[in-house]
Amino acid sequence: MTPEQIACLDSNAISPPAGHYSHVCVAGSFVYVSGQLPIAADGTPLRGSPFVAQTKQVLSNLDACLKEAETSRERLVQVRVFVTDINNWPAFNEIYKEWIGAHKPARAVAGVSELHYGLAVEVEAIALA
């Protein structure tokens, strides 16, 4: 695969990347979604918002990235979740289960000491194109 065969895209439905990266890259049969934080479309981090609201925003941002790459959550193959408080894992799991439905891609969770902007959750993913 050559660099010309990799399409890196940004979704207009979410806040522009704050650094030197793309929201999502399509390489061959795979779609790689950068870590999505709970940041509203206008660029406002949901710091201080309840964990549930942060989680719903992250999953909405993930949907926007998948749509930009012309794929969907039903084509996810792996999801990685980072939470600053592992005690929020059951709440995340319930929201995620409702969001993803019957599909069960591979998944990992990692408790981390902090995330950018003092946010509570981040999700990155790999899907089929």
pLDDT digits 0-9 by tens, 101-110 = 999 999 999 9
Would strands 121-128 and 76-83 be described as parallel, antiparallel, or unpaired? antiparallel
For residue 125, the model assigns a pLDDT of 98
Element (H, E) at 66: helix 51-68
Handedness of CA 72, 76, 82, 88 (dihedral sign): positive
- Rounded to two decimals, the pTM is 0.95
Q: Give per-residue pLDDT as tens, 3-16.
A: 778 999 999 999 99
